[in-house]
Every structure is written in structure tokens, then in C-alpha cells.
Structure 1
């Protein structure tokens, strides 16, 4: 459930490579959260999938630690704060940092970008 964004036929290629080969597709991908013509998952689909997982964790007692890709963190923050899926690309999540979601009764607090110790 916590896998990163499935980018379909773009998997294994850099954004620069895909942008050079399919510039219109990359623009659409970065601006339309429902677009998934690369054959993978849309940004909205990722946010919904991660949101379902996060809703299940909310019901559990105690702490949960998840080691995930930055795009999974973005999707969790979008869901936790009730942001529109279009906000996904506006969240800058640096690799190798910690993000903490805490709260009760669905009211999440977010702490982003804490360096790993």
C-alpha cells in the first residue's frame, strides 16, 4: 500500500529524459492530478491510496514508522491536511528526512523535513 507512484512506461528514466522525449506529457502530468497516460497511476490515485492507508493507521493505537519515497510522503501530507491533489507538486520533501504526522480524531499535525539522526 505504501509503494511510490507507479509511472508506468517512464519507470527507470530520469525526468530530463522523459521531458526531452515527451514534453507535453510531462507538462500534463505536472499540472493535471488525474492524468496517467504513461500507463501508471495518477497523482490523485496515489493520494487516495496513501490516504486509505493513513486512515487505517489513525484507528490503531501507538506509533507507526514507515520508510517511504518522497512522493508517498507528499501524498500523505496532501491527505492529512485535506489539500487538493493538485497541491501534490507544491510540497517539497527532501530525501533522507523525517516527516512526522501526529494528531487525534483525524486532526493531523505535520512536521516536515527533520534530518535523520
Structure 2
């Protein structure tokens, strides 16, 4: 059976707008309003299996989009290690070489955190598990295409695109994912493909 996957990046948090690295922040009133407005313009399939990152902002977004989603820890945000919650401007002053490496090298990780290359591996395992009926990530659908929606974080959408295209992780800096973006991937006999999101 083929799979159609819609990956949704969560709405912006106040911490993101202030230039902070995420630290499991909830959506503020502005983020909730943006997510609720997105519900009107984003037509998510009603019969889809829905999954969500354990992060509060992702769960808030899924609820605002009208999804009854199952929390999946594999969809958790990138592990930012000791940088979690810190302002990028402060890191640029205090650890400029480390920050520069992290923003350019897919194998560089924040202190105690996860590199983008590691994130691609994690996301790739999740994508491959979608077609494994024993994984718990599948749900029978009435058509020949299984519909899946996952609300998660921008870095995971980047990682999914890189994995689906079998691209080098070095391209991660060239993929921009805005809050509430939707990326559509489809799995068929020829593997994963990236489609323009048809909303």
C-alpha cells in the first residue's frame, strides 16, 4: 500500500520570535491564533492517522488544527543539548565558532545535543516504519493510499526531505521551513518522493 504523508511544522512560539533555541515552549495567543487560522486554509485528510511530537507547541498546534493525534517521541524536536532555551545572539557572542560550525556542518552538534545528520537518520527510521504494519504507525485506510499527518518541528521536516530525496545532509541550510508549513511526501514502490503540498 502506498503512503501519503503530510508533515506540518508547528506554529511559532514567543521564544522563537525572540530568537531563542526551543525549550519545549507552549504556543502563546499569537501562535494559537495563527494555528487556528491555518485550520481554515489547510485541508487535512479526515481519515488520516495523526501523530504529533511530544513538545507542547506541537501538541497545541495539532489541537488547533483539529487533529486527535498520537504522541510519538521519534517526532521530538532536535536535541539542542546545553543550548536549549538560549538566545542565538548570546551563543554568537559566547561560542561563535561552535555556533558557526553547527549552522554549516551537518555533523556538528550543540554541546550534549544531536547533529543534523543524526536527525536525518532518526527521521529516516520513522519514515521507513510507516510502511511496516507491525510498527504501530500504520492504520488501515479504505483506499489504496494510506494517509498520515504528523505535526512536528521544522528541523524534522528538513530531515525528512533530505532522507526522501537521498540527498547529502549538507543541503540542510538551503531548506527553509516556516511555521505551519506543510511538506507532502509519498511512498510508492519506487520509494519516497517529495510533492508540492496539495491543500
Conserved in 2, the CA contact under 8 Å of 1:5 and 1:41? Answer: yes
Q: When you count helix as a share of all residues, which structure comes out higher?
A: 1
TM-score, normalization: structure 1? 0.87
SS of alignment partner, residue 122 of structure 2: helix
- The 1:32–1:14 alpha-carbon spacing in structure 2 relative to 1, beyond 3 Å, is same
Higher alpha-carbon Rg: 2
Conserved in 2, the CA contact under 8 Å of 1:33 and 1:85? Answer: yes
Cα deviation code 1:51-102 (max 9, x no counterpart):
1101111445611110001111001011011111111121001111211112
Alignment match, 2:81: 8
Conserved in 2, the CA contact under 8 Å of 1:77 and 1:110? Answer: no
For the aligned residue pairs, the C-alpha RMSD in angstroms reads 1.9
Which one of 38, 41, 44 corresponds to residue 114 of structure 2?
41
Alignment match, 1:95: 179
Give 1:110 deviation, angstroms. 2.9
User: Counterparts of 1:58 and 1:108 in 2: how far apart (Å)?
Assistant: 14
Count of residues in correspondence between the two structures: 114
TM-score, normalization: structure 2? 0.53
Output aligned runs, 1:1-117, within 5 Å.
1-59=74-132, 60=138, 62-105=146-189, 106-111=191-196
Q: Which has the higher contact order (CA 8 A, sep 6+)?
A: 2
User: Counterparts of 2:123 and 2:164 in 1: how far apart (Å)?
Assistant: 10
User: Counterparts of 1:50 and 1:15 in 2: how far apart (Å)?
Assistant: 25
